[in-house]
Copies of this chain bind each other. A is one copy, B any other.
Amino acid sequence: MSNPLPAGSVIGILGGGQLGRMLSVAAARLGYRTHIFEPSANPPAADVAHAVTTASYDDLDALDRFVASVDVVTYEFENIPTSALDALEARRPIHPNRRALSISQDRLIEKAFLRDIGLQTAPYAAVDDEIDLAEAIEEIGVPAILKTRRLGYDGKGQARLASRDDAETALAAMSGAASILEGFVEFSHEVSVIAARGASGEVAAFDPGENVHEGGILRTTTVPARLTAAQRTDAVLIAGKILNALDYVGVMGVELFVTAKGLIVNEIAPRVHNSGHWTQNGCAIDQFEQHVRAVAGWPLGDGSRHSDVVMENLIGDDIDRIPAIAGEGNAAIHLYGKSEARPGRKMGHVNRIVAAR
């Protein structure tokens, strides 16, 4: 702990959703205060934060006041406008850094980066127009999936191509945005590694979890994942390679496809990750504290897992199952304080310890 952030310092968090909420609690546990910057009113993180700024990311005055009140800046989501980052970075350190952010904001750049450092990804090609798309289909084949390069806030901007005939419709669905065609990967299951890199360059990873999605939304994460010892090692080495290549500080989520040809990187998220929520009840030091430790210059937790856990997301009206889940007697419930249960909205999650190690 060469130069940790002094006790009582303020950690600024961009985004006040459930990830910001759980980061706030972890920050408090280590003696820090949090200041949340979030455009929408009464966000989940507000209930457990020291201070909240309700303002848009293009409100430079608000950003200015915010950054003056904090000692370091971090974030809970990757789609932060560049202009906001410019305003903040001039005044305080931002962790994870801009490079990690810019890579994860663009699917094409992300895939190129991963290939550059020697990792496997799905086959892909940039698509800006009909000619690109025709060439990409020629190269990659179908089925494939066309996605906008930059993420939308609403999970839109994706179109499946079952055959070449779908090309025109798929391209239209991109509304002219720069896109990427990704080939399908034959995988048996998806796992993710939640890994962290500290200010001094140390890396620590939690045990990989196995993810099940439904309708594009994470449904459950089960730890341990079905992996051979070699795959497990590989998964952690892949995460470490990414973190080191980016000179990264903080927690990252790395989604991997398990295939006959090895582990293929699906996506990286430069933040705490839904598939790491199991650590709250499986580890003494969870992913949220791990992130705060990294950002605040503490030594990292070692990633030890004391229990096997199944994490289940509570999505939309899953929240109506809370009375039954509460009655289980040993299910750890984590609600986000959202008042309205819209379809697809993450309302909370449950961690069930299935065995002590």
Contact = CB atoms under 8 A, between A and B. Distances in A.
Interface of A: 1, 4, 7-8, 21, 24-25, 28-34, 46-50, 281, 284-285, 293, 298-302, 304, 306-307, 319, 323, 326-327, 329-337, 339, 348, 351-353, 356-357
From A24, A284, A329, name the one whose CB has the most chain B CB atoms within 10 angstroms.
Answer: A284
Given A1-B327, A28-B48, A48-B24, A33 B337 contact: yes
Contacts of A32: 337
7 contacts: A1-B326, A1-B327, A8-B339, A31-B337, A33-B337, A293-B326, A299-B326
Contacts of A302: 329-330
Contact of A47 (B50, B304, B327): B50
Contact of A31 (B29, B281, B300, B348): B348
Contacts of A352: 284
Contacts of A335: 7, 29-31
A323 B301 CA distance: 12
Contacts of A306: 306-307, 353, 356
A298 B326 CA distance: 7
Contacts of A332: 284-285
A329 B299 contact: yes
A301 B326 CA distance: 8
